[in-house]
């Protein structure tokens, strides 16, 4: 997806509908000169609703809708007629979208499933008409409830990419090449850093027509947790990945140190990321002989599974799929 078309954060001003006022009406017709109260209730103000849409991958369609103003409920009228409710506004968003208040950063809504609906801002309730306040001691109440006030504020919508496996590594580690080798995705590939500027998703075809989703994410640099490079805008996309595949090139000067830097950036940003399943893949392994592979393997952490792969020659790509599939389908203890 082109960078200009990938929008993963947007601010919108929202205002729900004001509730309609209840009616202060008394029955008057040619047969009844002094009838009792028959004021109807006011209609509810319109809600603003977030709805999940699996066909959307970006918040681009909301770029030009910065002010979302919902319809007010109609006032009640005589003969116990209730006012019409305001027409709800439904905002369709991609799966993985969260909504936060700009003021306190509190997460108010989270969309994870297709068709899921969450009321972002409730419309005001309609006021009760005067017919509700009739009693034995007050046969002709001359008051009714006003409609409930609307709610307004600035909301921040953020998209966190939903994928089973997230590719993590320094710029130019071979993540885009791997994604293009095992999926139908066609990310931009070049021999300079930060070729990938936005997340790229691809479906990995596995045995017996099964599949899982893999995301090529922009490269981490040291200091990303403090906002350097693509910083937080990258790191939030890996919060939802079940498995993190650390890609370290075979020609790295220190494979263990490179892994530790990547791991530390994740921990600084969100310590909960360390609870995810990790896999280390040494890319560009077609340039290594068995002796070098053995030496590199000794550098790597013993408790984390590792594999040597080559996206260019296809070396060990199927065993890599087997490893990822097994981890994805192993229940967490």
pLDDT digits (tens, 9 = 90+) for 162-177: 788 988 888 777 888 8
Please give the torsion angle defined by the CA atoms of residues 104, 110, 116 and 118, in that order, rounded to the nearest 10 degrees. -10
Our CA dihedral for 297, 299, 304, 306, rounded to 10 degrees, sits at -30
Compute the distance between CA of residue 313 and CA of residue 174 in angstroms, rounded to an integer: 13
Quick one: how many helices (H) and strands (E) in the chain? 5, 14
**Whole-number CA gyration radius for the chain:** 29
Q: Rounded distance, CA 241 to CA 108, Å?
A: 21
| Domain 165-328 CATH (choose: 3.40.50.720, 3.40.50.300, 3.40.50.12710, 1.20.1740.10) | 3.40.50.300
CATH of 1-159 among 1.10.1740.10, 1.20.120.450, 2.70.210.12, 3.30.565.10 = 2.70.210.12
Return the HEC string of 146-194.
CCCCCCEEEEEEEECCCCCEEEECCCCCCHHHHHHHHCCCCCCCCCCCC
Cα(15)–Cα(9) distance, integer angstroms: 19
Q: How far from chain centre, in Å, is Cα 173?
A: 27
Instruction: Provide the CA 271 distance to its chain's centre, in angstroms.
Output: 20
Dist. CA 74–CA 147, nearest whole Å:
9
> Taking the domains of the chain in order of start, what are their residue ranges?
1-159, 165-328
Q: 307-330: per-residue pLDDT in tens?
A: 999 988 999 999 999 999 999 988
Against a cut of 0.75, is the pTM above it? no
The answer to whether the CB of 152 falls within 8 A of the CB of 13 is: yes
pLDDT band at 2 (very low <50, low <70, confident <90, very high): very low
Confidence check: pLDDT of 144 > 90: yes
- Which of 11-25, 143-157, 215-229, 232-246 comes out lowest in average pLDDT? 215-229
């Amino acid at each position: 997806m082109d960078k200009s078309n990938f929008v993963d954060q947007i601010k919108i001003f929202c205002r729900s509908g004001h509730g309609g006022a209840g009616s202060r009406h008394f029955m008057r017709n040619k047969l009844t000169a002094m009838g009792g109260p028959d004021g109807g209730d006011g209609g509810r103000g319109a809600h603003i609703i977030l709805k999940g849409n699996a066909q959307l991958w970006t918040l681009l369609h909301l770029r030009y809708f910065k002010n979302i103003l919902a319809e007010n409920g109609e006032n009640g009228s005589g003969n116990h007629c209730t006012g019409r409710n305001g027409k709800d506004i439904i905002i369709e968003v991609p799966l993985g979208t969260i909504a936060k208040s700009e003021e306190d950063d509190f997460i108010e809504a989270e969309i994870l499933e297709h068709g899921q609906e969450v009321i972002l801002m409730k419309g005001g309730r309609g006021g009760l008409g005067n017919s509700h306040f009739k009693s034995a001691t007050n046969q002709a109440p001359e008051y009714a409830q006003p409609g409930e006030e609307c709610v307004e504020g600035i909301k921040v919508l953020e998209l966190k990419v939903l994928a089973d496996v997230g590719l993590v590594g320094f710029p130019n580690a071979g993540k885009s090449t791997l994604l293009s080798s095992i999926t139908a995705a066609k990310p931009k590939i070049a021999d300079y850093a930060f070729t990938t500027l936005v997340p790229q998703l691809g479906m990995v075809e596995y045995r017996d027509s099964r599949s899982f989703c893999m995301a090529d994410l922009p490269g981490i640099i040291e200091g990303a947790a403090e906002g350097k490079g693509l910083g937080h805008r990258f790191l939030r996309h890996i919060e939802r990945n079940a498995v993190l595949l650390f890609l370290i090139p075979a020609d790295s000067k220190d494979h263990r140190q490179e892994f530790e830097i990547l791991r530390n950036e994740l921990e600084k940003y969100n310590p909960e990321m360390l609870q995810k399943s990790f896999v280390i893949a040494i890319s560009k392994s077609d340039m290594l002989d068995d002796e070098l592979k053995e030496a590199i393997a000794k550098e790597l952490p013993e408790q984390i599974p590792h594999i040597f792969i080559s996206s260019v020659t296809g070396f060990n790509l199927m065993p890599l799929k087997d490893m990822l599939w097994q981890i994805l389908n192993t229940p967490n203890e």
